Structure 1
Amino acid sequence: MGEIQRPGALYQQVAAEIRSGISAGEYAPGAPLPSEAQLIDRYRVSRPTVRKAIAALRAEGLIEVIHGKGSYVRAVPAPAVTIERTITRSGKNFRTGHHAWQRVEAPTIYRTTTTATTGPLLELAEGEALFAVDRLLSDPDTETRALHRVLIPFATAAETEQRVLVPFATAAETEQLGKAPDTEPERIYAIFTAAGHKLTWDETVGARMPLPDERAALQIPDATPILHATLVTLGTDRRPLILEELRTSADRAQLAYRNLARAYESTGDLSRAITLHEQALTDQQQVLGEEHPSTLTARTNLARAYESAGDLSRAIPLYEQTLTESVRLLGDDHLSTLTARTNLARAYESAGDLSRAIPLYEQTLTESVRLLGDDHPHDAHRAR
């Protein structure tokens, strides 16, 4: 870094030099930058030029200015909180990943209309009437804040600052929501389910700079983006029922999408894993049908959980059904069929029924060699 070369906006050149120093590691995260006087002397520019350069870097989020101390390279800390976005169900009860977050203030309920953005997500025209419920929530452990917006046919929302927008058209089938649009989302899911809906969810996540009111409510520093998650609850025939928007600071929180059943399996909690796998299979059968590939996967997951729990009497029929459906839908030489045949063979072997296991292993080996070659990793099962 040396004297600035003219022509060009001097403050931009100074900012570029400091930015390069940060990228090269000359200034580590959390380290102070040289003082104004040092920067003036180094680059032989005026004090206003240095201040404009610092302001530009601050706006980019590269540095932070601490009153009375100076400018520091902004550290990139690990997120303070992980928000689980998986919605779980136990019997008639639903739970979101931020159910334990606390209200910072009372929710605000009002009427509004769909916009060019929210209307298509709810399959409504722009200008359709909605109920709205805004909530500002805080994580009790980290004090991280979030804003949550829900757009629903007459329902309400959530837990971080949450805004719920509810189309009036849906209130007719869920009268309770029309009377109490500030109903919590988990309760809304239960109401829809009791009304006969088979719920599924679609979610997209983006990042953007916050609006002034969002920045103030979330208490986030300058030049910090927010995460903006948009979750649509879909009912029978994938009809949109509600839309929820979760907004939180991108440097304080991260969103997690996990297969909770698999997580329970990994910790040895097979009873809860099996319950979730059973529910998943039922949902896939009802929403997508018996022949959908996702239903085959859900059936295999449940069979594997039963097998892990030592319940082969329930695992084997599921493996048999999966193999039958895979052969019929995908063909006898499809890789998914080879896997299904191997799973069934392994289950037979575990049950001590070698007379049925061995022919399946032999057939799988023959098909695998023919399709993939003699040295493909998929042939590892030949050691059986």
Structure 2
Amino acid sequence: MSNLAFTYSDLGRYQDALRLEEQVLETNQQVFGPDHPDTILAMGNLASTYSDLEQYEDALRLNEQVLEKRRQTLGPDQLDTLLAMSNLASTYSEVGRYQDALHLEEQVLEKRRLILGATHSKTLLSMGNLASTYRDLGRDEEALFLEEQLEALQEEEEDEGEVQ
């Protein structure tokens, strides 16, 4: 059901995806319980579809729950926890809560740099997200600085890829 929901989302059939994801979440909660990794994943998937449907308050509620559960079950520095932080930051941006998004994005970038390294694709994505939030907040110089760093790191990665 989850795979079919993903395919529906990829095709822009968000209402069909929503229907399936709600069923998956309900089933997982009944079978596995509220804190099982599959249940938490289903919550995150449903939150993503809510965002696709511009139902941001529902997405926000679920993303906040997902982050709290990830922190409790996995700890603050685990990669799935960082993904939950990034997803919540994105939802904060969608509802205009840029300061809240900024706070999370700064943490995600710092932790991904430490855990994954400066040139990992997830770290680079975090830099781009943070730069976007800086722009949303009118902090254009900080956005420019990050975007220039990002471009330099991407060029460095491309150069290293050609040598191998």
Q: Same fold (TM over 0.5)?
A: yes
Structure 2 counterparts to residues 2-41 of structure 1, below 5 A? none
Greater mean deviation of Cα atoms: 365-374 or 354-363? 365-374
TM-score when normalising by structure 1: 0.33
Q: Using the aligned pairs only, state the percent identity.
A: 37
Corresponding residue for 2:15? 271
Corresponding residue for 1:368? 112
TM-score when normalising by structure 2: 0.75
Matching residue's letter, 1:360 = L
Corresponding residue for 1:383? 128
Corresponding residue for 2:135? none
**2:5 alignment partner, SS class:** helix
Match of 1:338 among 60, 78, 82: 82
Runs ≥4 residues deviating over 6 A: none
Corresponding residue for 2:30? 286
Match of 2:66 among 322, 327, 331: 322
State the distance in 2 between where 1:327 and 1:259 align. Answer: 26
State the distance in 1 between where 2:30 and 2:16 align. Answer: 21
Specify which structure has the higher proportion of strand: 1
Corresponding residue for 1:356? 100
Corresponding residue for 2:41? 297
What is the Cα deviation at residue 371 of structure 1?
1.2
Matching residue's letter, 1:265 = S
State the distance in 1 between where 2:23 and 2:13 align. Answer: 16
Structure 2 counterparts to residues 45-124 of structure 1, below 5 A? none
Matching residue's letter, 1:367 = K
Structure 2 counterparts to residues 151-300 of structure 1, below 5 A? 259-300=3-44
State the distance in 2 between where 1:267 and 1:300 align. Answer: 19
Matching residue's letter, 1:375 = T
**2:76 alignment partner, SS class:** coil
What is the Cα deviation at residue 267 of structure 1?
1.8
Tell me the alpha carbon deviations over residues 280-335 of structure 1, each in whole angstroms, 9 at most, x when there is no partner: 00000000001110011100000000001111010011000000000010010000
Q: Which runs of 5+ in 1 are unaligned?
A: 1-85, 87-257
What is the Cα deviation at residue 383 of structure 1?
1.8
Bigger relative contact order, structure 1 or 2, given CA contacts below 8 A and separation 6+?
2
Corresponding residue for 1:64? none
State the distance in 1 between where 2:12 and 2:120 align. Answer: 32
Tell me the alpha carbon deviations over residues 160-185 of structure 1, each in whole angstroms, 9 at most, x when there is no partner: xxxxxxxxxxxxxxxxxxxxxxxxxx
State the distance in 1 between where 2:30 and 2:112 align. Answer: 34
What is the Cα deviation at residue 262 of structure 1?
1.3
State the distance in 1 between where 2:13 and 2:77 align. Answer: 35
Corresponding residue for 1:35? none
State the distance in 1 between where 2:4 and 2:122 align. Answer: 28
Specify which structure has the higher proportion of helix: 2
What is the Cα deviation at residue 367 of structure 1?
0.8
State the distance in 1 between where 2:108 and 2:10 align. Answer: 28
**1:259 alignment partner, SS class:** helix
Task: Kindly name which structure, 1 or 2, has the bigger radius of gyration based on alpha carbons.
Answer: 1
Tell me the alpha carbon deviations over residues 117-160 of structure 1, each in whole angstroms, 9 at most, x when there is no partner: xxxxxxxxxxxxxxxxxxxxxxxxxxxxxxxxxxxxxxxxxxxx
Corresponding residue for 1:167? none
State the distance in 2 between where 1:336 and 1:348 align. Answer: 18
What is the Cα deviation at residue 259 of structure 1?
1.4
What is the Cα deviation at residue 364 of structure 1?
0.5
